[in-house]
Amino acid sequence: MWYNVGMNDFNFYSPTLFAFGKDKELETGALVRRFGGSRVLVHFGGGSAVRSGLLDRVTRSLEAAGLFAVKLGGVKPNPRSSKVEEGVALCAAEKIDFILAVGGGSVIDSSKAIAIGAANGGHWREYYVGKDRTPPPIPAALPVGVVLTIAAAGSEGSGNSVITLEPENLKRATSNDVLRPRFSVLNPALTFSLPPYQTACGLTDMFAHVCERYFTQTRDVVVTDELCEAVMRTVVAESAKVLADPNDYQARANVMWAGMLAHNNTCGVGRAQDWASHGIEHELSALYDCAHGAGLAVVMPAWMDYVCETDLVRFVRFATHVWGISPQENDLVTARAGIAAFRSWLKGIGMPLTFAELGAREEDIPLLVKTLGLNGNKLGSFRPLDDADVEAIYRRCLG
C-alpha cells in the first residue's frame, strides 16, 4: 500500500502559544488581548474551576487587561450539543469575538464548537457529521484560548473537537487547524485538585493518543517512533508519582506536557494513524456517559489482542521498547507480554478493564456497532476493521 513505503509528506501547522508554569493563568488577559480578543466568552465546566478560585483569578486577569467578558458554565464531561447552542446564541447576543475555555477536554471541545457556530451564522453541527464519518471542512472559527485544568484529552494543542449530538446521542468529532487554540495556559499546579480516577483517565487517554499513532504500517518513521516511545515511557513512569502524591509539581508538569505532546500530532506526522480504538470507545462514552479514558482502558488492550498478529514486529517493539520486556521464546509470546504489561499498568492506576467494570452491557453490543455507523466502510489503518471485527473487539472487552 502507498503508506507502506516510508515517511509520508505532510503539512504540520501548530500555531498555539503555550504559557507553561506556575501562576501562568495570571497572564490570560494579556494573552487574549495579544491574540485580538476584546469581547470574551468564558466557558467552563461543572464547578471545579469555581471552587478552586481559578475562575476568579482568570476573570480578574481579563478585567485588568480591559476586556469585556461574559461567563457560560455547566459543560458536562462528554459535552452536549445543547450547551453549544446556548453558547452560540450568547456569542451572537453579546458580539463575542474570542472564546476562552477554562477546564478540560470537554470545556475546550465545547468552546471549539461554539467558535465554529459563532463564525458561521450559527452553523456548527454539520461539521461534526458527514458522509462516511468525514465532515466537510470548517470554513472559519472564532479564536479560542485555553486555561487547562486536566492533563488528558490534548485538546489544548489539537485541532479536534468531540461533541455528543442530541437528541440522537451520537458522539462525533471534527478536526481542522482553524480549531487549534491561539494559546493554552498550562499550569501543572491547577491539576493538583484532580481526583485519582480523573488523573488516571487522563493518563490512559494520553497513552492511547500515542498508541493510535505508534501502531502504523508506515515504515522508516524513526524519529516519530522514538518520540512515541519516550512519551509512553514517561507517562507510565510519572503515573506512579502523580498517584502517590497529587501535589508533586514536577510529576504533574511532566504529565501535562506529555498530554500535549501526545496529541498535537508532533508524534504522528508523516505516518498512517489508526484511531479505531477511539472510534470504538466514543460509542461507549456516548451510551454510558463514562469517562473517555476509562472507556479506552477497556477497548485499547482488546483492540491490541485482536490486531497484534497483523504486525508482530511492531508489537514486539512495543513490548521491548515501552515495557522493557526481554524477548521471549517467540514473537507472539513477547507481543502478548507487552499487551499484558499494558493491562497490568491500567489496572494498577485504577482503570477498568472489562465491560462489567465500566458499567457496559453485552446486550448493547449490536447497538454500539450500529451507532458507530461504518455503513460498509472500514475503521482504522493498522488493520482496517469492518462491523464484524468491531463486534469481536467489543466481545473481547467482556473479559
> Exactly one of 105, 268, 352, 380 binds ligand NZQ (CB under 6 A); which one?
105
Burial (CB < 10 A; 0-12, 13-18, 19+), residue 30, is middle
CB 144 within 8 Å of CB 118? no
Residue 98 or 345 with smaller CB distance to Zn ion:
345
Phi, psi of 162 (to 5 degrees): -125, 125
Question: By CB under 6 A, which span of 97-105, 320-328, 356-364, 373-381 interacts with ligand NZQ?
Answer: 97-105
Number of residues that bind ligand NZQ (CB under 6 A): 36
Task: From the list ligand NZQ, Zn ion, none, pick the one residue 193 interacts with, judged by a Cβ distance below 5 to 8 Å according to partner type.
Answer: ligand NZQ
**In whole angstroms, what is the distance from residue 171 CA to residue 162 CA?**
7
51, 117, 119, 202, 261 from 104: Cα distances, Å:
15, 20, 23, 10, 16
- Nearer residue to ligand NZQ within complex by CB, 105 or 270: 105
Closest to ligand NZQ by CB, 67 vs 102, is 102
Backbone φ and ψ of 69, nearest 5°: -140, 140
Q: How far is the CB of 25 from ligand NZQ (least distance, A)?
A: 12
- In the region spanning residues 45 to 74, those forming contacts with ligand NZQ, defined by CB under 6 A, are 45-49
**Of the residues 106, 224, 264, 265, which one makes contact with ligand NZQ according to CB under 6 A:** 106
| CA atoms of 47 and 106, how far apart (whole Å) | 13
Cα→Cα distances 167→164, 171, 286, 287, Å: 9, 11, 12, 12
| Residue closer to ligand NZQ (CB basis): 38 or 169 | 169
Q: Which of 271, 292, 314, 343 binds ligand NZQ (CB under 6 A)?
A: 292
Query: Which x/- pattern over 359-398 shows residues binding ligand NZQ (rule: CB under 6 A)?
Result: ----------------------------------------
Q: Where do the H-state alpha helices sit in 120-221?
A: 196-214
Q: Residue 75 or 316: which CB sits closer to ligand NZQ?
A: 75
Letters for 128-167 (x = contact with ligand NZQ by CB under 6 A, - = none) are ---------------------xx-xxxx--x-xxx-----
When asked if residue 264 is in the footprint of ligand NZQ (CB under 6 A), the reply is no
What residues line the site for Zn ion (CB under 5 A)?
Answer: 205
Cell numbers 489496572: residue: 347
CA distance 285 to 295: 7
